[in-house]
Structure 1
Amino acid sequence: MAGLRHRLLGWVCGLLALAGAAQAQSASPVPPAFERIEAVHSDWSATAPPQAGWTEVSLPDQWIARWPGHEGVVWYRLRWQQADATQPVALMIDSITMAGAVSVNGLLIAQDSHLVEPLSRSWNRPRHWLIAPPLLRPGVNELLVRVSGMAVYHGGLGAVSIGDAGTVADSYDRAEVVRRALLQIGVGVTLASMVLFGMIWLLRRSEQVYGWFALFSLLRLPYGYHYIATEIWPYPDTATFQFANLAFLLASATSFVFFALHFGQLRLPRLRSLVLGACVAAIAAVAFTPVPWLAQARNAAVVVAAAIFLAGASLLLWHAWRSRRTEAIALAVWVVLPMATAVHDLLVYLRFITTNTYYFPAVSSLMLLGMASVLALHLIGGIRMVEHFNAQLRERVDAATARLAQMLHRQHAGELERARLTERMSLVRDLHDGLGMTLSGHIHALQARGSAVDSGSLWALREINADLRLLIEGASLDDTDRFVERLAPLRHRSTRLLDAAGITCRWELHDLADCRLDARRSLDLLRLLQEALTNVLKHSGASEVKVRLEAADGQLALSVADNGHGFEAKPQESAAPGGLGLQSMRARAQRLGGELVIRTDAQGTVLALRLPLAPPEAQAPRG
């Protein structure tokens, strides 16, 4: 951004240099060769200058200091020596305020269309003629200029040059570019800006900065027309034309301040009221001031308009300094040169600088073009921001839609799971109330028969009953995969049964809080543990048993140790009738992905199992 600021400042310096050069060229026309310049005043109806009353003057001239309050005609007579009357000479008049007629050696060579009200306007354009030899005389030649004007509107005659055709033509071309061509281009630029940003504001009413800029451009149109108009149309007289021009100047400066406030997002209500009040007061003063003091009122109004414009430009400079935004800096750079030319033109208007060339209209059009470019970039940036916001909004909507779909999917899955659990619990209750009671009844009936009962059948019924208990207990916890919660019912029931048989049961559980097993693996492990405790209860003759479970390093270790008399374990041997107990435990250990180890001697039996917490199929293949 620093590089951009340096480049913009460089452009401004270049523009200031060009303006200075143009001013130097315009302020230094071809030196006049007149030996005597005189003026005399008369009334509106005079067709020829009076014989007496001539006063020597210098050009450029305004007659208000010499003839205060004079309205009508002033004749200017300029005489020069022509050594060679056979060669043409060029004549240039910088300005005639307001309208005039030009004669050379008594012959009329040019005349404005309206020499009385409504007056033509020649103050804003240079005039150029090539005087051929038939009009020239050897020796003394006379240029007579009839000027129709009013003191209150700076009536008078600008600089006059006569000499070499090429040199005078160059001066005329430079003045024509500065005072006509650039201003005409500026009116076109102003009109285009007004239409463009007016349409943007109509489509985007919330963007008030574009509306104020369009209003500023609209009010500058009649003010810019003032500098290129050659007639007072559409106004009835010069006074109305001048009042309207001054009113538009004040209104456009005020709208410029409001634009600056909106662009900088500045809330300064007192400044708004002050500027608006100054604008209204200045317009009212010009409208209602009597003619004898109208010149002073107009001068004061022009000073107020310049002050209002400089206040708006200063707001843009302050906003650029405060925000350091690129677009604010660019806009501030575009108003630096117009601020300088506004001061220059104010001094010209107040006659502190003796020239009739005003730079502000042309430079302000350049400012308008630059400001329009900055606002266009600002609009493009806003559009891009909206597009980026829309893209982000679409992404967020898509993400929210995906999350909502996932949530609905989970909700649907949860509802299905709840329905499945409800049906499962209903089935469990049916098993408990139906099959469970039937098995318990048969077991009690067989036990009542004593030795006449087939032990294998009784053992099978007990195993079925134990499995049924595990199924019922596991189903009640089917909504969790935490092993410690599934273990609790078996631990409680087994401890109660062992205590009733006089066997002390101690449990050691380590790091099982985060141990998780799915329902199938939990059931296998619980059945294995239940079988081991059942063997201790029925066959060990032990007085104490210790159950230890520990989860560590992705594995679960189980050991069941008793102090019974032990037994001789063989691969196909069983602690239960029928040889099914140990086989069943080994089969379950294999499904769990572990290996069952049994150590037994006269001091007791230790059953140990180590299994991975992850299912065997999820383990990485071993090389």
Structure 2
Amino acid sequence: MWLAGNRIRVVVFLFCYWLLINYLVFFSPITFFHGPDTGLVQDVEFIASEMDSPVDLPQAHWQPLSLPDDWDKNQRQVEQVWYRASVAVAEPGDDIWAVYLPLVAHNAAVFINGVWVGQGGPFGEPSSRQQNTPLLFSFSPALLLPGENQIDIRVQTSFHAQGFLDAFYLAPESRLKEAYAWKYFVRVDLVRWVTMAMYLMSAIVFAFWLARPQDSIYGLFSLELFLWATHNLNLFVTEIPVSARLWEAMTMSSLGWTVIAMIFFNHRYVGERNAGVEKFILIFAALGVGIFFLPDIGSILHIGYGIWDSFLIVFGCYAIFHLLKAYVRRLDSDIFLMLLAGVPILVFGFHDILLVNHFLDRRDGLIIQYSAIPAVLLFSWFLIRRFVRSINRAEHLADTLEQRVRTKQQELQSQYEKFQSVQEEGLLLKERERIMRDMHDGIGGQLVSVISLLQEQRGGVYKKVREKVQHSLTDLRLVIDSLDPLLSDLPTLLGMMRVRLVDQLEAANITLEWAVTELPEMKNMSPRRSLHIMRIVQESIANSIKHAQSEKIMLATGVIGAENRQVYVDMVDY
């Protein structure tokens, strides 16, 4: 990206971007609304009157005027004015005709040749608020006369400085409807849809905040959306449920609170809070409640437009400066996008403040509501992305925790199994010790006694019996040795066996050559296997003594293969 990593380029780009937005808004505004090409009426007469019908109006004291008529600039200190125009119609024809009012503040009723053809809404207190709504009143061509026709328009406003009537159109409806429909869509329908979407998004984000109350930016953004949407109600709600004074106070204060919520949101999203600024604007927000207690609309408009809105411009400039400073330090693309969305909000807001204070042509209309579209989409995307990332992190942590729990569970299971094995081995050990003790003290003792008795006897039979008993005692000792868990490795067993066989080998005049070496651990050794091995060795030695007539016996051990998986015992007599 051309701007990536270059602070000077970013600042220059944003400055040019700000200049471009200002140029398009103030010096070369883009015109979205083009009036119909026929039926324009600008030259009228007017009179200030509280009458409800043109038949009650006086015929004198009418003053000429060229529309548009801004009551504040023309210093009209009344809340209702009648306008009258004389329009020549050559031939009405059979088509439906209409009167198109592009802009009126706040309410209007139209009469053709003294016959009422329509009005924006109810008159009185509070009056219907049509200041952002184009009006189109259709009527039968039978009301028109060939030649001159009189058009009377009654305009009523909630406060005299807000009154306004733009040039209007009288023509067949088919020639007026396209311009009316387009302006109604942009000024009313689009704003209504955006506002409803903001309320919906506010509810969704509020639900996110309820799910994550520790993340305050969701609550702040939900509040910001709600306040901004509430401010937009003034643009399309025509029949207000409260007095005009309270409605103006609500419209004024909600805009200020929106800016304040936006600053709090920016501080927390960027991660750079300013406690002093937040404390000051909170005090300012609290003072905004006082707008509701002002005695009349004039006071609300004077304080709201003159003082309240001036501070909002300062706050808006601070918000942009704060984001710019944060971006220069961190070069965060999210902050850059926030600046792109924030600059139009500031410029459009400044435009609207100048407009409501009558420094700009009121026919331009309010435009800050349109800056909400990219801003709301951007910030909503930010927060939804943030929420999704939080869910993904939580799921990742949950998976990691689950894996750790599973590992610990396996470790505990393994430890438990080892513990069980140790317990079982302990029980077996005790049982082996008991058996070994019983065999040694019981059977072993009896065999030793038998051998002692037989040694006192002479004769070949006694000698053979004594040898058999001696052999049985040796075998018993082998069994006892095989049960000893401390003698579970093969070299140790053979060493114990060597001690048992020394007397037998010496009696046969056989020399034992010992070549038993260290062997790897044999995990499959058991008392049964140990006994089998010792008996095999014992039988081999016995056979050698009896039949080989050898003088030497060599007993050796070793391993076969590079991986030491096989162990051998080798006995050689010669």
TM-score when normalising by structure 2: 0.69
Judged with a 3 Å threshold, the aligned counterparts in structure 2 of structure 1 residues 521 and 536 are, in CA distance, closer, same or farther, namely same
> 1:84 corresponds to which residue?
90
- In structure 1, what residue type is equivalent to 2:147? P
Match of 2:497 among 490, 498, 505: 490
Pick from 343, 348, 356: which aligns with 1:344?
348
1:192-238 superposed Cα distances (whole Å, 9 cap, x missing partner): 5555665676677567565445544543453232222223422x3x3
Describe the SS at the equivalent of 1:490: helix
Residues 436-484 of structure 1: CA deviation (Å, up to 9, x unaligned) = 2332333344445577674432322222122222222222227x75323
2:567 maps to which of 553, 556, 559? 556
SS in 1 for 2:471: helix
For 2:169 and 2:434, locate their aligned partners in 1 and report how far apart those are by CA, in whole Å. 118
Query: In structure 1, how many angstroms separate the alpha carbons of the residues matched to 2:341 and 2:333?
Result: 21
Alpha-carbon distance between aligned partners in 1 of 2:311 and 2:50, rounded to the nearest angstrom: 29
Residue 295 in 1 paired to residue 300 in 2? no
CA distance in 2, matches of 1:450, 1:395: 79
Mapped contact 2:81–2:155 kept (Cα < 8 A): yes
Q: Percent identity?
A: 17
The correspondence of residues 364-443 of structure 1 with structure 2, limited to 5 A, is 364=372, 408=416, 410-443=418-451
The alignment status of 1:148 with 2:157, answered yes or no, reads: yes
- State how many pairs are aligned: 528
Larger mean Cα displacement after TM superposition, 464-473 or 143-152: 143-152
Residue type matched to 1:347 in 2?
H
Please give the secondary structure, in 2, of the residue aligned with 1:92: strand
Change (3 A) 1:265 1:506: farther
Structure 1 match to 2:186: 178
Cα pair 1:193 1:214 within 8 Å, conserved:
yes
Change (3 A) 1:83 1:434: closer
Q: By how many angstroms is 1:177 displaced?
A: 1.9
TM-fit CA distance, 1:355? 3.5
SS of 1:125's partner is coil
| Structure 2 counterpart of 1:513, from 501, 520, 534 | 520
SS in 2 for 1:27: coil
1:268 is aligned, of 268, 273, 296, to 273
Measured after TM superposition, the shift of residue 128 of structure 1 is 1.5
Shift of 1:347: 1.7
Unaligned runs of 5+ in 1: 1-15, 561-597, 606-623
**Letter aligned with residue 472 of structure 1:** I
CA RMSD across the alignment: 5.5
1-side partners of 2:321 and 2:253: how far apart?
A: 18
1:469 paired to 2:484: no
Q: Which residue of 2 aligns with 1:160?
A: 168
Which AA in structure 1 matches 2:306? Q
Deviations 1:22-78 (A, max 9, x none): x9674322367668547878687998699779686653x5444453xx642475857
- Looking at structure 1, the residues matched to 312 and 256 of structure 2 have their Cα atoms a distance apart, in angstroms, of 8
Alignment match, 1:458:
466
Of 28-37 and 518-527, the range deviating more from structure 2:
28-37
Match of 1:549, SS state, is strand
Gaps spanning 5+ residues in structure 2: where?
1-20
Residue 107 (structure 1) shift: 6.5
Partner of 1:138: 147
Query: Shift of the alpha carbon at 1:425?
Result: 0.8
1:239 aligns to 2:245 (yes or no) = yes
The code of the aligned residue for 2:533 comes to: L
SS at match of 1:514: coil
Q: State whether structure 2 residue 98 is matched by structure 1 residue 98.
A: no
2:16 corresponding residue in structure 1: none
The offset of 1:114, in angstroms, is: 6.2
CA–CA distance in structure 2, aligned partners of residues 316 and 126 of structure 1? 43
Partners of 1:307 and 1:111 in 2: CA distance: 42
Q: Distance in 2 between matches of 1:277 and 1:407?
A: 63
Measured in 2, the distance between the counterparts of 1:290 and 1:354 equals: 19
1:224 correspondence with 2:232 = yes
> How far did 1:101 drift?
4.6
| 8 Å contact kept, 1:507–1:546 | yes
CA contact (8 A) 1:306 1:343 kept: no
